[in-house]
Structure 1
Amino acid sequence: MCGLIGMFDLRARREPDAVAISRGMQVMRRRGPDDEGSFAAPGVGLGHRRLAVIDPVGARQPWVDRQTGMVLVYNGEVYNFRELRRDLQAAGHPFTTSSDTEVLMRAYIEWGDSCLDRLSGIYAFAVYDPKQERLFLARDRLGVKPLFFSRRNQWLFFASSIPALLCFPDLKPVLDLPAVSHYLATTKTTMGNRSLLRQIACLQPGEQLVSVRGGSDAAPHRYWDIPILSAEEKRSVSVTEAAERVQERVNLAVGEQLVSDVPLGGFLSGGIDSAILAHAANRLTGGGFTAYSVGYDIPGYEEWSFVDLAAAACGIACRKIHLSADTYPDTWHDLIRFKGLPLSTPNEVPICHLAQALKQEFTVALSGEGSDEIFGGYVVPTFCAFDYDRARREPPRDGEPWSATDHALQRLYGRPYLMCRPDQHLLLNSWLPTDRKEALLTAAVWNALDGDDAVFSFYEDMFARFQSCTTFDAYMHVHARVNLESLLFRVDSSTMAASVEARVPFTDHRLVEMAFSLPDTHKMDWRDATRRGEAAGLNVTEIAAADMVESKRVLRRAFADVVPPEILKRPKMSFPVPFMEWFADGWQPLIRDLLHRTPLRGTLFRAAALDTLVDTARTQASALALWPIVNLCLWQEDIQAELP
């Protein structure tokens, strides 16, 4: 894991800004505390910070190939580098190190842009080809490693983080209002290629970007995507056979991701996913695997009993750390400064604390992100398909009798109909619903947003890609693209802030492809036919509360002999953090002071609406709305972002 930064002249061969690149490298020093290096030539400048994991002594970057003159800066790990090395040696390529960096460089020389098809790993990298005056950028398939870019004044700027990019004087922190509106609703800091800043874009997962000096501006191109299959195209396989295949693929992914020349540990919660990874890692390493877990001394948020069950079943050591309302804020602010973005979820802070504790013994950590998005771990956001498929598309006529379904939908959505999939998705997945957002934002901002048209259009366009899918599968695809990208950015930034490399075996692209080829009912289904019959007058939240649906069915069966039954049968907890209790009590003075002094008061947000939210912070709706608002204000205060 590392940090990279660079600039490429799109039209001429001007001298790069060495000072800005040096500043950007310093900003990213926690991403790469072990080494730094830079490269400069007319029209191009590259910088790199290194966290040494593979071949710590060799493989300094930028890596310059003596024969071709190509230059590589690279953040991440290519897990199958040893297999690729053998293939490249057979093709006549010499090697001087045992690193994956040299393998990646040689792979690009041998196969060009299509080398991406052969990589298994997490990566964001840039290759400069001086002979063709060409720059190639790429990001891994699922988006574990971030890469931001900007085109300004005939330069292409790029970096692993927004704070590093803002070291270039040409870039100014001006808010992108549609992306900000999307963040307030969903807490996601990107919306497709858009970031929260107008001048900075994000290379999406599975995308590449090619720039040739003197050529036309190219758009990012997707080189890989999750397969989109109709119900008829899904594999016809029993859940038992599918479980066997899933078990094999998960174990292969864990084994591949154990490659490291530095010590490796993991994170452990009281849930299924981390227990699966810990058991596999301990078995594949011959024992002695160590994991870390975080908890709170608040009823409903303490998971130690389940953590102890998982650790005992896996036969591993588990180190426990505690987090409180007093220790949370400093790390919260520090993470915002490190990311150069507001936090997406409250559990970014405990992940960072876990990484800080783990760093005392290890440099690499296995983490369980991705399982819910590919195997169906979220009942309400995906099984809401049951609501959609039986819902009206328009309001009932005056005097028309309401069905039991109409009443069930009214209780959850505030109306007895659902217009379309994007409509339902935003209703269910918004921390700040559209009607409350309109009341919160100033009239000038809301008018500029044109009724939040850009946010709705973003999801409308996305759902249009999945018209051939079942409603459930369409929601699975959206969560795999939107929610998972956010979670992976969360774990990357929260661990890299502690100079720890996080690896996420459930995002192995072959496992993802397998999961999306399975029938919907292998992921989530009614516990039995009786329960389905009882659900006619219920909505999805009531169905979930009554535990009428089994999530991650195939994964539970695949590892039933590994995970204790108490954990297998346990409802999903989603890494809980008691931030709503803290908002309502100990943090009130901090929040009130912030929302009074922020420059966004009266410009982005209505002052009276902010005060009302603080006064009603004890309610769930206000606490949920306050999370993105407070984060946005803390972030704006740090980078001095301006309204357009």
Structure 2
Amino acid sequence: MCGISGIFTLHNKKPIDESLLKKITDIIAHRGPDESGLFRADGVGLGHRRLSIIDLASGQQPMLSEDKKIALVFNGEIYNFVALRDELANLGHRFLTHSDTEVLLHAWIEWQEKCVERLRGMFAFAIYDQRRDGVFLARDHLGKKPLYYAELDNDDFVFGSELKVLTAHPRLQRIMDAQAIEEYFAYGYVPEPKSIYKNVYKLPPASAMWVSRAGIESIRTFWDVSFQARPALDQKQAEQELVERLREAVKIRLMSEVPLGAFLSGGVDSSSVVAMMAGLSDKPVNTCAISFGDPAFNETVYAQQIADRYKTNHFVREVDPNDFSLIDKLAEVYDEPYADSSALPTYRVCQLARERVTVVLSGDGGDENLAGYRRYLWHMREERMRQTLPLGLRKAIFGTLGKVYPKLDFAPRFLRAKATFQGLARESVEAYFHAVSIFKDDMRPQLASNELRKLLAGYHAGEVMQRHAAKAPTEHPMSLVQYLDFKTYLVGDILTKVDRASMAHALEVRVPFLDADFVDWMSGLPPEWKLNGSDGKHLLKSAMKSYLPHDLMYRKKMGFAVPLANWFRGPLRQTLEQELTAGELHELGLFNPRYIRHLLEQHFSGVRDYSAPLWTLSMFARFLRYAKPTGVAA
């Protein structure tokens, strides 16, 4: 696992400033503390920071072809590199190392752009090919590894693993994109392909780009989740195949020349991964977890059950539930506004894991694959009503009810009907967007100042989901929202969170549930095997009955949360009030101070739980303080 950077000059071949290349490379030294390397040629410079995992003695980067005409920088792991090396050797290629990096280099030489279609792994890489005088960039199937890029006004095309690579370039203008701000306050992150800055982009997952001296010539998608129905299986056969496929996805992720372990939260997904690891290893698996003092946020008793069952080397550290020391650090780690508060415990568990191992396996992706989120259940219940009544009638009935029904944040779920009424008054994709939004459609216009509304010119963050829905390979309502999560929440929130938190500690995280082959196979199974009645992850739970305790699999889902509501009414109240009513956020002039005051007062009084919107505002304020953007544009 590593960090990459690069500069490619457009319309000319001016020399690359070595000190600048070194600067933009070393700024991500945390991603690769073991080694660094630079490559420069006419009008191109590549930088690399290495975290050594496989072939520790060789595999240094940038890696050059034998004729020195091709240079590669690569972040990630190619799990099928041994099979690819054998295939390439049979085609006449000669290898000098045992690294997956060299296999990738030869794959480019043999197959050019089509090489990405043969890769199984997580990756973001750049290849400079002197013979074609251009740069090829690619990102893995589901977006586990990040890749940012921008064309600058001095004809530099600059790219890197994190946004800080680009902002370290003196010619990058830190002008915020108004549409990205609208999207952030809806989703809690800026979805691909935008970044918070105008004209700075993220290469989307499963995308490959060719850049010539004339500029970006093409960006193509080389893979997508198919949701193609599988040949007839009964459920028992599917359970057996799921275990076999999960075991294989775990097995290929166990290759490492450095200490390896697993996150063990006590949930179904991480426990399933550990169960598979234990069956594949003749040594005890290293597992780790963090504990919270508040039982409402503590799953370690379930993690301990799995640790005892599989006799793992299990390490637990209790985290002070009132530890606020990391909050300011988040802006530096994530570079962009990012509002998932579980980034705090994720950072801590990565910190703990790195004390003992360099590589960990995680259970991320199980919820998206197997319909584990509760919002899928509520969406499908609403969908049955949406399919019964026409939209016009639903808008008339439920639109009115959604306006007049009180918002009962602290009532039992069945009494919190306001959101349900609002969802029933919308079509399916619009309703799902409404369900996942932090600032709802009726809140964002109140938050925005006249200036921001003018810049937005009617732009609506829901267009992100509508764009993906238009390309979806499925019409089934649950499969569709799973697809939307693959394209938005998974890559923009979950994988971003894990990549930055782990790389901040030079820790590599591997994700078996997000193996592209496994994901595509799962997508083609009947939706009712995933969400069966009210039972999410139904097929996985049935398949793992002989591996995991019943009580662990069928308990109420906790999540990886922090007590924001209590923080904001107690120890962080004064800090929150100050940063949201004064300082950079207030001076920016993009937000309505009266509405922010309303949110604060309603939350402080206990009338409403506005902890998620307030945290989203707080993280934006801290981003402003850290990044110091120079303005905002339409």
TM-score (norm 1): 0.91
Q: How has the CA–CA distance of structure 1 residues 468 and 493 changed in structure 2, closer, same or farther, with 3 Å as cutoff?
A: closer
Secondary structure at 2:76 match in 1: strand
Asked whether 1:220 is paired with 2:200, we answer no
CA contact (8 A) 2:306 2:548 kept: yes
CA contact (8 A) 2:529 2:539 kept: yes
By how many angstroms is 1:331 displaced? Answer: 2.3
Is the deviation greater in 455-464 or in 117-126?
Answer: 455-464
By how many angstroms is 1:372 displaced? Answer: 0.5
CA contact (8 A) 2:385 2:424 kept: no
By how many angstroms is 1:317 displaced? Answer: 2.4
**Which residue in the other structure is 1:475 paired with?**
481
Task: Write the deviation string for residues 178-233 of structure 1: whole angstroms up to 9, x where unpaired.
Answer: 111111111123x231111112100011001101223x63242111111144xxx4
CA distance in 1, matches of 2:57, 2:330: 30
Secondary structure at 1:641 match in 2: coil
Asked whether 1:273 is paired with 2:265, we answer no
Secondary structure at 1:394 match in 2: helix
Asked whether 1:107 is paired with 2:107, we answer yes
Asked whether 1:460 is paired with 2:466, we answer yes
Task: Write the deviation string for residues 378-426 of structure 1: whole angstroms up to 9, x where unpaired.
Answer: 13245513312422412469899x99xx998964334484332232012
Please list every run of 5 or more consecutive structure 2 residues that lacks an aligned counterpart in the other structure.
406-413
**Which residue in the other structure is 1:537 paired with?**
none
CA contact (8 A) 1:313 1:562 kept: no
**Which residue in the other structure is 2:91 paired with?**
91
Q: How has the CA–CA distance of structure 1 residues 415 and 116 changed in structure 2, closer, same or farther, with 3 Å as cutoff?
A: closer
By how many angstroms is 1:269 displaced? Answer: 0.7
CA contact (8 A) 1:3 1:31 kept: yes
Secondary structure at 2:29 match in 1: coil
- Superposed, 1:226-241 pairs within 5 Å as 226-229=225-228, 233-241=229-237
By how many angstroms is 1:447 displaced? Answer: 2.9
> How many matched pairs?
613
CA distance in 1, matches of 2:564, 2:64: 48
Q: Which letter maps to 1:138?
A: A
**Which residue in the other structure is 1:630 paired with?**
618
- Superposed, 1:18-417 pairs within 5 Å as 18-67=18-67, 69-153=69-153, 154-189=155-190, 191-214=191-214, 217-229=216-228, 233-327=229-323, 329-381=324-376, 383-391=378-386, 392=389, 393-395=391-393, 411-415=418-422, 417=424
**Aligned match for 1:642, one of 603, 615, 630:** 630
CA contact (8 A) 2:36 2:50 kept: yes
Secondary structure at 1:104 match in 2: helix
CA contact (8 A) 1:138 1:207 kept: yes
**Which residue in the other structure is 2:408 paired with?**
none
**Aligned match for 1:444, one of 446, 451, 462:** 451
CA distance in 2, matches of 1:478, 1:428: 13
Q: Which letter maps to 1:224?
A: W
Asked whether 1:591 is paired with 2:589, we answer no
**Aligned match for 2:497, one of 490, 498, 501:** 490
- Superposed, 1:514-529 pairs within 5 Å as 514-526=521-533
- Superposed, 1:413-432 pairs within 5 Å as 413-415=420-422, 417-432=424-439
Task: Write the deviation string for residues 42-66 of structure 1: whole angstroms up to 9, x where unpaired.
Answer: 2101111111111122111111112
CA contact (8 A) 1:173 1:199 kept: no
CA contact (8 A) 2:370 2:540 kept: yes
CA contact (8 A) 2:331 2:337 kept: yes
CA contact (8 A) 1:363 1:500 kept: yes
CA distance in 2, matches of 1:75, 1:342: 24
**Which residue in the other structure is 2:409 paired with?**
none
Q: How has the CA–CA distance of structure 1 residues 96 and 396 changed in structure 2, closer, same or farther, with 3 Å as cutoff?
A: closer
Q: How has the CA–CA distance of structure 1 residues 608 and 95 changed in structure 2, closer, same or farther, with 3 Å as cutoff?
A: same
Is the deviation greater in 17-26 or in 162-171?
Answer: 17-26
Q: Which letter maps to 1:333?
A: D
CA distance in 2, matches of 1:20, 1:637: 25
Q: Which letter maps to 2:346?
A: I
Q: How has the CA–CA distance of structure 1 residues 455 and 364 changed in structure 2, closer, same or farther, with 3 Å as cutoff?
A: same
CA contact (8 A) 1:133 1:212 kept: yes
By how many angstroms is 1:448 displaced? Answer: 2.2
CA contact (8 A) 2:124 2:138 kept: yes
Please list every run of 5 or more consecutive structure 1 residues that lacks an aligned counterpart in the other structure.
527-548
CA distance in 2, matches of 1:584, 1:563: 39
Asked whether 1:609 is paired with 2:605, we answer no
CA distance in 1, matches of 2:211, 2:560: 41
Q: How has the CA–CA distance of structure 1 residues 357 and 512 changed in structure 2, closer, same or farther, with 3 Å as cutoff?
A: same
CA distance in 2, matches of 1:282, 1:309: 14
By how many angstroms is 1:30 displaced? Answer: 0.5
CA distance in 2, matches of 1:221, 1:416: 35
Asked whether 1:502 is paired with 2:498, we answer no
CA distance in 2, matches of 1:501, 1:494: 10
- Superposed, 1:9-24 pairs within 5 Å as 9-24=9-24
By how many angstroms is 1:614 displaced? Answer: 2.8
Secondary structure at 1:194 match in 2: coil
What percent of counterpart residues are identical?
Answer: 27
Task: Write the deviation string for residues 501-546 of structure 1: whole angstroms up to 9, x where unpaired.
Answer: 11111000110010101011110021xxxxxxxxxxxxxxxxxxxx
Asked whether 1:582 is paired with 2:567, we answer yes
Is the deviation greater in 124-133 or in 407-416?
Answer: 407-416
By how many angstroms is 1:361 displaced? Answer: 1.4
CA distance in 2, matches of 1:395, 1:238: 40
TM-score (norm 2): 0.92
By how many angstroms is 1:167 displaced? Answer: 1.1
CA distance in 1, matches of 2:34, 2:468: 41
Q: How has the CA–CA distance of structure 1 residues 381 and 176 changed in structure 2, closer, same or farther, with 3 Å as cutoff?
A: farther
CA contact (8 A) 1:21 1:167 kept: no
Task: Write the deviation string for residues 539-585 of structure 1: whole angstroms up to 9, x where unpaired.
Answer: xxxxxxxxxx0111111111111111111111222222222222221
**Which residue in the other structure is 1:5 paired with?**
5
Secondary structure at 1:315 match in 2: coil
CA distance in 1, matches of 2:397, 2:35: 73
Secondary structure at 1:117 match in 2: helix
Secondary structure at 1:128 match in 2: strand
Secondary structure at 1:577 match in 2: coil
CA contact (8 A) 2:292 2:321 kept: no
Q: Which letter maps to 2:33?
A: P
Q: How has the CA–CA distance of structure 1 residues 625 and 87 changed in structure 2, closer, same or farther, with 3 Å as cutoff?
A: same
CA contact (8 A) 1:421 1:463 kept: no
- Superposed, 1:564-579 pairs within 5 Å as 564-579=549-564
Q: How has the CA–CA distance of structure 1 residues 240 and 636 changed in structure 2, closer, same or farther, with 3 Å as cutoff?
A: same
CA distance in 1, matches of 2:29, 2:474: 46
